[in-house]
Each structure stands twice: as C-alpha cells, then as structure tokens.
Structure 1
Amino acid sequence: MSQTLITQEFGIIIAAKNHKPTILNPDFLKYSGIVPAEWELARQPIYTPSVSQVAFTNGIAIVAEPTRIIFIEAIEDKTAKDITIADIAKKYVQTLPHVEYEAVGLNPRSYITFDQQQDTSHQYLSEKLLSPGDWQEIGTTPVRATLNLAYTLERCPFYLTISEAALQNPDETSIPIVLFNGSFSYQIIGETVPERLINLHQIIDNWQADLLTYQDMIRSKFLPQIPLNTTVVPDLFSMNASALA
C-alpha cells in the first residue's frame, strides 16, 4: 500500500477590526466584482449579526465575522492557474479599503489515507510522531492524539496541526486519514491605509510559495516516516517566474 498526500483546500483568513458581517451577501459580491455574476450558490446563505456565510458550487466559500474574514477554496482537483481564492480575497479588501486589517493567515489543508482494515493512522501518530510510554496506556481504548507544532520561518511563523480523522463514504463506511492543517501567519505592516493594503496584497500574492513550502515540508519531513512505500501526487502547484510576477 502507498500513501498519497492530497491537498484538499486552501484558506485565507484576514483578521480585521470594525468589520460588519452583514455586508456579506451574494449581491454585494457580484455587484462589486469580487466574484463573477454567473457563479451559483451551493446553498442558502447564512445571515446573523455575528456571522455571514456564502458558498458557491465551485467549492469557494466566504465567511464574515466581526474580527475576521475567511476565504476557502476546495483545490483537490485544481491546478495552480485554476485556483482563484487569492484574487477574490484581494478584490474583497480593495472593495472595503477602510476596514482595519491586522493580520493574514495562509492556511493549506491536506491529508493522507490509510488501510481501512488497520489502525495505521493511529499508529502513525502514536508510534512515529510521539514517543511510546505509559501515558498512552491510560483508559480502555487507545489514546487519540493531536500534535500542534510551531515553527519560526524567515518570513513568518508557521503552525502545523496533525490529527486523526476519517473520510465518510456514501455507503457509510469510513477511511482513516491523518490531517495536516498548516498556517503561515503574517502581521500587516504600514503607517498608512494604502501602505497596509499594499502589504496585505503582497502577503496574499505569496500564496503559491507558501503552499509549496508546506507541501515540501510534509513530503520531506513527515511522509518518509510512514513504514510503507510512499508516493505523492504530482505537484500541481509548480511555479515559474511568470506565476510569481
């Protein structure tokens, strides 16, 4: 059996002050040019004083809260040129330039699957990433673990959470997986509103480089520890100079 790293989604989270969730609705997004007019809703939008959510059939969702805006795109079957969440996030802040934006998180999420008949996902966490000991023997069932890691990279802090989960099949069976949730955390800098918006755009424009860093880290530092033949999906996010321009 082999493990394949599947990058499931990419999220951009922008921390902000004085943001009004009630502004988020399909008409606002389309009339402002943030999303194309032909995009179709996946379900009815959610509107409350504390949170609004709009989701589209192409796998893109936007969530607005008083202190942050969340942009998420399902990217499992997409190439880099087909991923549009960064452009949407930039258009959103361009439309609302006077919101006090404070920080940005670029958050990829991936998973690897394991043999359905074996508890290998649990073994991966408890035996390969954690040291064995009496602490694992408490209780009547195997301990379940979530590992939180914090790295200091040259450009920003990077946080990685590794946890057990399961994919649900239509026949109600499940497939054990291990989730890798990453987050590149940036503070927005600048003395004036235009300077801060420029820096925010620069951070978002770096999404492909951060995604590659994340994938390379999982591939080189974590997948080799699995005691099985390991394969990785072809890199859909290879960059060239024009892609980063």
Structure 2
Amino acid sequence: MSQTLITQEFGIIIAAKNHKPTILNPDFLKYTGIVPTEWELARQPIYTQSVSQVAFTNGIAIIAEPTRVMFIEAIENKAVKEISIPEIAKKYVEALPNVEYEAVGINPRGYVAFEKEQDAARLFLTETLLSGGAWQEVGTAPVRATLNLAYTLERGPLYLSINEASLRNPDETSTPIVLFSGSFSYEIISETVLERKNSVHQAVDNWQADLAIYQEIINTKFIGKNSEQNSVVPNVFAMSAAV
C-alpha cells in the first residue's frame, strides 16, 4: 500500500464525578485564562442541564457532561507547536481542582484515503485485515466490517477502532476512507486534590508520545509504511518506542 495516515483530529477526554456542565461557557473559559480572550466562537454555544458545548473558529471545541469533559481539536496540517488542547485541558483542571477526576483518555483519530477505487476501503477491512470465509457471503450486498482492538502497552491500554467511512470533497464527490480511532486510557488514582490534579496533568503530558505511538502503529503495522508525511509530531521510535 502507498497510502499514508492523515491525522485529522485529536481529543482529550477527562472522566469525572459530579461535574456540572452548566459551568462551561465562553466567559468562564476566558476570565479563568483557559482560552485566550481573542478567540472567536464558531457558532452559538449549547447549554442544557446534561451537556454544554463551546466551539471556536480555530477548530477547537470543549464539551462538558456530568461524567466527563471533552477537548477536541482539528489538527490536520498543524505543526506540533500549534496544538492547543493539552494546555487547555490542564488549565481547565487548574480552574476546577475540586472536581473528582477519574480517568484521562488521549484520543487521536486519523484516516487513510483510497481515491482510485470506491470499494477499496471496504476490501482493506474485509480482505487485508480479516480472513475471508463463508461469513462474508451472507446477504445480498458485500459485508461491511468494524474492527475493535485492545493493546496492552507499557504505560496503559490503547483501544483502536477501525471502520469504513467516506470523506466529502469540495466538489461534492466523496472519497472512501478507513478511519483509525485511538484511545489511550489512564486511570487517575489519588487521595488529595493536589495529587489528583498532578495525576491528570501527568497523563495529559503523555500526549506527544501517545500520538507518535498511534501514528507509528498505523503506518507500520496496518498500512506498511513508516512515513513521517502528514504526521504532526516527530517519530519517537526513529529518534530512540477511551474514557
């Protein structure tokens, strides 16, 4: 295969007890210094008792729910120094230290495009990643598959979901793609507010290594290409190895 992984989106999810979604609003984010005051809203924020969402024009969105807060950033074509949500997530925890944070998920998402053949993405899943058999011959249309994997890494588990999708082009055509959605999961174990905050920060600080590991696994183990093209962080392996 000559395809290369395009790392499209990066997310940090922090699981928490008794988190109040109603606290999330642009004023809170700006007066606490979580985001710069000059950031502009992409659309009107969403406020309900169960979820609040604030999205900015730079591709960053923050979503708060009673059991978690999500920080999501579009990172395609961004350099590593331009990625903002790790520091934003840490500042959010600093501003709300008494929330009972329970776990951190580092969630990169990327895709591999198959521009020449409309059926190539499906065949990659059903023939390259899976073995053929009678199970694929049921029904009146070709079977479609989603693959969920769990890896045990040194620091913690990596959950990887692989599925077929399509990318809409500006000319209204679509390109078949295979999505690779990863999640590195870290449990927060602490007895004090300070220990909890430091544990969250330590998990978030792993983000560059986790992103590089995710890219390395996809590029070398799934599409057979150890390429740094379209990667947003250096390859840590070459330099030296949900909630």
TM norm structure 1: 0.92
**1:83 corresponds to which residue?**
83
Q: Please, what is the CA RMSD of the aligned residues?
A: 1.6
1:21 aligned onto 2:21: yes
Identity of aligned residues (%): 70
Equivalent-residue separation in structure 2 for 1:231 and 1:121 (angstroms): 20
**1:150 corresponds to which residue?**
150
* Matching of residues 156-167 of structure 1 within 5 Å: 156-167=156-167
Q: How far 1:231 moved relative to its partner?
A: 5.7
**1:66 corresponds to which residue?**
66
Equivalent-residue separation in structure 1 for 2:121 and 2:148 (angstroms): 17
Q: How far 1:154 moved relative to its partner?
A: 1.1
Q: Which runs of 5+ in 2 are unaligned?
A: 237-243
**1:130 corresponds to which residue?**
130
**2:229 corresponds to which residue?**
233
* Matching of residues 1-245 of structure 1 within 5 Å: 2-224=2-224, 233-238=229-234
Equivalent-residue separation in structure 1 for 2:66 and 2:98 (angstroms): 14
The C-alpha deviation readout for 1:185-226, integer Å capped at 9, x for no partner, is 0001222111111111011011000001111111110012xx
Q: How far 1:230 moved relative to its partner?
A: 8.6
Equivalent-residue separation in structure 2 for 1:97 and 1:135 (angstroms): 51
- More deviation, 94-103/189-198: 189-198
Equivalent-residue separation in structure 2 for 1:59 and 1:88 (angstroms): 13
Equivalent-residue separation in structure 2 for 1:132 and 1:215 (angstroms): 27
Query: How has the CA–CA distance of structure 1 residues 231 and 97 changed in structure 2, closer, same or farther, with 3 Å as cutoff?
Result: closer
The C-alpha deviation readout for 1:36-67, integer Å capped at 9, x for no partner, is 00000011111111000000000100000000
Q: How far 1:236 moved relative to its partner?
A: 2.9
Q: Which runs of 5+ in 1 are unaligned?
A: 241-245
Equivalent-residue separation in structure 1 for 2:158 and 2:17 (angstroms): 23
Equivalent-residue separation in structure 1 for 2:157 and 2:100 (angstroms): 22
Q: Is the 8 A contact 1:116 1:174 kept in 2?
A: no
Q: Is the 8 A contact 1:3 1:230 kept in 2?
A: no
TM norm structure 2: 0.93
**1:243 corresponds to which residue?**
none
How many residues in Structure 1 have an aligned counterpart in Structure 2? Answer: 236
Q: List structure 1 runs of 4+ shifted beyond 4 angstroms.
A: 229-232
